[in-house]
Chain A
């Protein structure tokens, strides 16, 4: 059973197509993210689901029923806004009670429900506080509580962590995931931050230029990207242009621009001998030293220390810059700027996508 279904949904503003025939299903109780760069149409998509924009074509179904003719204030989807949109002229309790009052529920029920939902988001007894008195994380939870008290079928979240500082953002990611678990409600989360999407979601749709590039679990997107865009956008990756020499058995031999050869998995079936391709290799599968299936020779340019995600920057002989993920950098090794090194990785770890030039 799906809580939310979108079917060839499109939105055009004049000649500009913001959302281009997007279809997806969100299973009940799951955490679904739409990941894409700014301007890819993800906000328009969410606003159509909430009812603030009318689709040019296509259908939106919630619990199997089309909501296209339902006005935004009658839809069973609630939304957490980018800047939360807590009402500054009301206190916390009034903010949460707002939707219940609109439904015309009686006073006793309202105050009972408000207290209960505040309990669940871990802020019991804060009804009388002013919104301005809350911290960023607390505001976040109130914004979610304000929606959840109405028991929506789907909760939409529009980059709600964007305004928070880095530390708090890290904590809120985990907290959001826990809240979703606790409420067992379907969350549709929009973000341009791939780490947010990967960390919290059951499924992620990667969106680019108004279209979905790929829908899958975070592991699938990371390990088995279906397009060059996904391979480049999800996680860090080295990206080298080149030309396919031969294709056989799902493997491509690539001549890299500027020199060097490698064998990689074919990412799509449009690759033929002689066609232009891009090779994607993640930094963490690269290692310095001999003995791998693919090899590139180069010179260490600099060492970027950042704890567990430290990098070695190597300039290959062909002129490409290579990021090598190497956690250990105690300074005693022979890897110093200027040193000649070999970089290696196995055939299965590289991925090749065709490029339309």
Chain B
């Protein structure tokens, strides 16, 4: 008997019904957003006019599918570039932070650790505007005093990367740090004892051990970057990533089923990536 569960069978059924209702609540908007990608209609609304893949692949007006919509594709491409760049940077910085906080003893460590966490509790909009303001101050200063034009400090992909990097690094540091904490330092000493140089120990023992965490930190960072809106909105220039492009479309043009197609694509893509990261993480924990 599970003492934690309700004892009367009526209550148990009520509880189960509640769980079911909750899962329906979770799934409903995702289902609705995905479903109309396949409806052969000009609007994402009932009635159901039959199944179609036009909103993905059609290249003729008025139904331009997402894979033929140049702006959406550019947005997707921008999202990919930003996502890969920012994830790689955040994983690199997160690895350094993990080693710094797990391996080194230094004065003020606790305060620095809290500073590392803080970006996670600053609202994304504020991270966005503060980086925008700071970058512009530098850019204006350079322009006024030296006459140098540093365009990458104006809204655009570079600032979006910086903005997302500023809080993703906290996430990657925590993910990688958690794994490094479980690492048995005796493994490194054993490798050293067997004659390996420090660099070799890092490459053959420590980094392979961290690999699952590095991978899942990368995936998490990539997904969060891909779906990020608040910080990105403030920093975006002409090269808007997919979420911003989609938002613009929604606000200016109104919703068309091509947005459902993009939604479906995003859901499947991130669902698969997230699942992959869970599997890799599981495998890593089992072996350790």
Interface string of A69-98 (1 = CB under 8 A from B): 000111101110111010111000000001
Contact sample, A vs B, 21 pairs, CB 8 Å cutoff: A50-B193, A72-B189, A72-B193, A73-B196, A73-B197, A81-B186, A81-B189, A83-B184, A85-B184, A85-B186, A87-B187, A87-B190, A89-B205, A89-B209, A89-B287, A98-B191, A98-B196, A102-B195, A102-B196, A102-B197, A146-B194
Chain A residues contacting B186 (CB-CB under 8 Å) are 81-83, 85
Contacts of B271 in A (CB 8 A): none
Is A98's CB under 8 angstroms from B204's CB?
yes
Give the nearest-CB partner of B288 in chain A.
A88
Q: A147 within 8 Å of B by Cβ?
A: yes
Is B208 in contact with chain A by the CB < 8 A criterion?
A: yes
B195 to chain A, nearest CB (A): 4
A159, B247: Cα distance in complex, Å: 63
Interface positions, chain A 145-170, Cβ under 8 Å from B, are 146-147, 150
Nearest CB in chain A: distance from B228 CB, A = 33
A334 an interface residue at 8 Å Cβ cutoff? no
Q: How far is the CB of A45 from chain B (nearest CB, A)?
A: 15
A103 at the interface (CB under 8 A from B): yes
Output the least CB separation between A285 and chain B (Å): 43
Q: In the complex, what residue of chain A is closest to B211 when comparing beta carbons?
A: A89
Say yes or no: is A232 at the interface (Cβ < 8 Å to chain B).
no
Indicate if A99 sits at the interface (CB-CB under 8 A).
Answer: yes
Q: How many A residues, CB 8 Å from partner?
A: 24
A273 within 8 A of B: no
Residue of A77, A85, A103, A146 contacting most chain B CB atoms (<10 Å): A85
Q: Are A87 and B287 in contact (CB under 8 A)?
A: no
Say whether A174 faces chain B, with CB atoms less than 8 Å apart.
no
For A99, what are the chain B residues with a Cβ–Cβ distance below 8 Å? 194-196
Chain B residues with CB under 8 Å of chain A are 184, 186-187, 189-198, 200, 204-205, 208-209, 287-288
Among B184, B193, B198, contact of A79 (Cβ-Cβ < 8 Å)? B193
Q: Which residues of B contact A305 (CB under 8 A)?
A: none
Q: Which residues of B contact A132 (CB under 8 A)?
A: 287
Cβ-neighbour of A72 out of B192, B204, B205, B287 (below 8 A): B192
**Most central of B190, B194, B198, B205 by chain A CB within 10 Å:** B194
B283 → chain A, closest Cβ, in Å?
11
Are B190 and A85 within 8 A (Cβ)? yes
Contact B287 A147 (CB under 8 A): no
Indicate if the CB atoms of A52 and B194 lie closer than 8 Å: no
Contact partners of A77 in chain B: CB under 8 A: 193
Q: A52-B189, A83-B186 are in contact. Are A73 and B195 (CB under 8 A)?
A: yes
CB-nearest residue of chain A relative to B286? A132
Contact at B287–A73, with CB atoms within 8 Å? no
Q: Point out the residues of chain B lying under 8 angstroms from A85, CB to CB.
A: 184, 186-187, 189-190
The CA-CA distance from A81 to B193 in the complex, in Å, is 10
Q: Name the contact of A81 in the complex, choosing from B190, B196, B198, B200 (C-beta under 8 A).
A: B190
Please name 17 further chain A to chain B contacts, defined as beta carbons within 8 Å, in addition to the given A50-B189, A82-B186, A89-B209, sorted by A numbering: A52-B192, A72-B189, A78-B193, A78-B194, A79-B189, A79-B190, A81-B186, A81-B189, A83-B184, A83-B186, A85-B189, A85-B190, A87-B191, A89-B208, A99-B194, A99-B195, A147-B194
Q: Shortest distance in angstroms between A97's beta carbon and chain B's nearest beta carbon?
A: 10
CB contacts (< 8 Å) of B191 on chain A: these are: 87, 98
CA distance A74 to B200 in the complex (A): 14
In the complex, what distance in Å separates the CA atom of A81 from the CA atom of B287? 19
Which residues on B sit within 8 Å (CB–CB) of A88?
Answer: 209, 287-288
User: For B288, what are the chain A residues with a Cβ–Cβ distance below 8 Å?
Assistant: 88
Q: Closest residue of chain B to A104, judged by CB? A: B195
Nearest chain B CB to A52's CB is how many angstroms away?
6
